[in-house]
Each structure stands twice: as C-alpha cells, then as structure tokens.
Structure 1
C-alpha cells in the first residue's frame, strides 16, 4: 500500500511505523536509518504497519512557509516516485488533517490520482481522541507517534 503524507515530520513517522530493521539505506526527503519489513513484528498487537518505508511518499508543499511558485527538486522527485508507484502498485492511502498544507496537498493528490485506476483510501486525522479518561487533541499527523498510526484504522 502506498502511503502519502503531506509533511516531512509525519512522513518520517510513517516510515518508522513501516520499518523496524536497522540499515544504512536512505530514500526520499524523510530518510530514516531503517528499512521496512514486509510482515509485522511478532507481539506488537497492531502497533506497527505492514510494508516498507519505500512505500511512503512525502508530498510536502511547504505552502505555509514559502512561495507557492517555487517547488523544490525533492518535491518533484517524490511526485515522480508517486507516479511510478501508481503504475506498479495497487491501492494508495492518503493521510491528511485540517492543517492548510495538508488539505492543499490532499486536493492536489486527488487531482493526480483521478487519472489512475488505483483504489484510493483517505484517513483524516480526527480533531480529538478519547483514551481512557484523557482527551487528546491533534493539529496534524506530525503530532502522532509512529506506533499509533495503525490505531486510526478503527476510528
């Protein structure tokens, strides 16, 4: 499954969620010193996600901090990698929030994937989550720990 996120921090967290093996390999703007496994590690009770960090795409527009006329090389490389994966892979899962950069990125992603036959799943970050007797408020996916991503499938 292709995972698309719209900020460097959240993409790095997703890469960690999809990878638990130490390596010296890097990929993309949010390179991690880990690569993924195809299967979940034992005894994690769903706290990690299947797949590899190669399946994570970071379409970071940086619209909230820069000139929208200037897109950098990294963004273009990630966009090309997304297009290649759309041809090779199956479904795509977009992780977005109410943050302006995330909504803009999500709408742009929708304009891209409408030209492909791939199944598209979207997971919107809830404004808050209740855990036991605590209320947790989120602004963007960058605030979510890597081991918590899979918990949002059941919401």
Structure 2
C-alpha cells in the first residue's frame, strides 16, 4: 500500500503513524503562556508538562499503527493552488518552490527530488498496486488530488481516499482541523474507517478537471462550494484588508491574524505576495522596512 499526501508535514506524520504507539516517548519541553502577559511560574510550567505527558501517554494507548515502511509514503508537495500549473513538475515550479524556501536551496532541492521520485512511483503503478490518498481541506490538497488523478488514471492501480474530518471531540473540547499536518500521528489510524474507493470513472473525471484547470492556468485556485475553481490573484485580499488595523503594525501580525481567525487553508506565502502587491499599488505604506526579515517590517494604511 502506497500512502500519498500533499505536504511535507503530512508526509512526516504518516511516516510516524506507520509505527506509532507502544509508549516510551517523553515530553521534553512545553511552551506556556499566560493570558495576563506575566511569566509562567515554575508550578504552572510543571503542571503544563504533566498535562502534556498525560496527553502523550493517552495518545500512545490509542495509537493504531498503519504499518508499512517509510518508502511507502509519497508526497507531492507542490502548492498547486498557486501560480502557473501548466507543468506541475517542470523547472518553473521548482524555481517557485525554491523561492518559497527563503534561500534554503539545499532543503528545497532535496524536497524537490523526493517529489519527483514520488511522481515516478505513481507512474510506475500497475493493476496489482494500491494507492491510499490522504486529502484535507486545504486548496493545495484539493489541487494535489486532481493532479494525482491525472497521473494514476491509466495505471490500473486501486485508488482510495481518506478525507480529513472537520473536527474531533477530545474530552469536553472540540478540535478542528485544516490539514493532515495538524493531526497527531497516533490518530491517523483512527480515520481509516473513513477510507473510500475511487472508481476508475471518478478518477477519470478528476483527471479531466485537472486538465481544465491547467488550460485556465489562473493565478490561484480555491475550493468554492466544494469544487476547485480558478480564481483571481486578489481572491484573499479582502481577508487581508479585514486584519489591517488603524495605525502602524507589523506584517507578521497581519498574516498571523488572517491565518488564525479566517483559516483560509493556505500558508503565509501567498499572503506575503499580496501584501507586497498592496505596497507597490500604494494601498499600504512601508513605515519601517526590515530587509532581512520582511515579516518584521512595519506598515500602515496609505
């Protein structure tokens, strides 16, 4: 069984989920914050560590290992909801991903090579192979699923999907999810009950939709009313404007508020691009620029 996902964090989670459980994992440290802004006391830190360790032990008891080996976990971490998709595995996409890695070319090139190897494994599948695809609520995952369908449609492989639930009860609390990268590895196995097959006809329909999106080649793709659609570059601008306060503010705070409150299912990369556009268009004014860390720059409404 090949396990396929569409982000590096989900890929790491799946690999851990293959052989999770059994105990022995200890909490090394925790981050403790106080609502009133004061430093946490030693007692509060010890209490937080105790609670975290109890949660870790409970997860170990609940764990359902997926089995398999790390080589069975494939990732197409391509961010296909953004920019040109005419050649998803071409040099233009590679250069785009390198830009997103903010100068860490070594890590970018390693991830790119692993992505190409994953695509090759999918193309080499035959009628005796099975591919289980872990899909979530992010636009990049929705686009990744359609792209994967275009690779797999003629292989004859048995394809299934495991959709991520919107939420899960945890005691008296409700935990909501956007992507598989947010899920503890011990819980992946619990969601196998949601697995459903993708018949060849449906796989072909998804592949056809991907080719339509490639022809449209819009600046962005988003999930609108449950369907992947081509949208304009300004699709998320309203969310950004909603969180630009009066007066001066750091770019990092704007981005954090958009991601935290609106949960658009995208990362910070496109939001940064649009803030740069707002600066160039005169909608925002740079008050204090940090040339090393753009996120620390201070802006205000023009």
> Which of 93, 111, 118 is the aligned partner of 1:70?
93
More strand as a share of residues? 1
Residue correspondences, number: 132
Residue in 2 that maps onto 1:126: 165
**Contact 2:63-2:189 at 8 Å conserved across structures:** yes
Counterpart check, 1:80 vs 2:97: no
Residue in 2 that maps onto 1:16: 16
**Contact 1:2-1:89 at 8 Å conserved across structures:** no
Structure 2 gap segments, 5+ residues each: 21-59, 86-91, 95-111, 195-302
Residue in 2 that maps onto 1:55: 72
- Select the structure with the greater relative contact order (CA < 8 A; seq sep ≥ 6): 1
Tell me which stretches of 4 or more aligned residues in structure 1 moved more than 4 Å: 43-46, 64-68
Range with bigger deviation, 48-57 or 62-71: 62-71
Alpha carbons of structure 1 residues 90 and 44: separation in structure 2 relative to 1, 3 Å: farther
Alpha carbons of structure 1 residues 2 and 44: separation in structure 2 relative to 1, 3 Å: farther
**Contact 2:132-2:160 at 8 Å conserved across structures:** yes
Q: 1:83-129, CA deviations, whole angstroms, 9 ceiling, x for partnerless residues?
A: 23x13852110001110111100111111111111111101111111
More helix as a share of residues? 2
User: What is the CA–CA distance in structure 1 between the aligned matches of 2:169 and 2:11, rounded to whole Å?
Assistant: 24
User: What is the CA–CA distance in structure 2 between the aligned matches of 1:100 and 1:145, rounded to whole Å?
Assistant: 21
**Contact 1:6-1:101 at 8 Å conserved across structures:** yes
User: What is the CA–CA distance in structure 1 between the aligned matches of 2:133 and 2:82, rounded to whole Å?
Assistant: 22
Offset of residue 73 of structure 1: 4.1
> Which of 166, 178, 182 is the aligned partner of 1:143?
182
RMSD: 2.4
Offset of residue 51 of structure 1: 1.0
Q: TM-score, normalised by structure 1?
A: 0.74
Which of the two has higher C-alpha Rg? 2
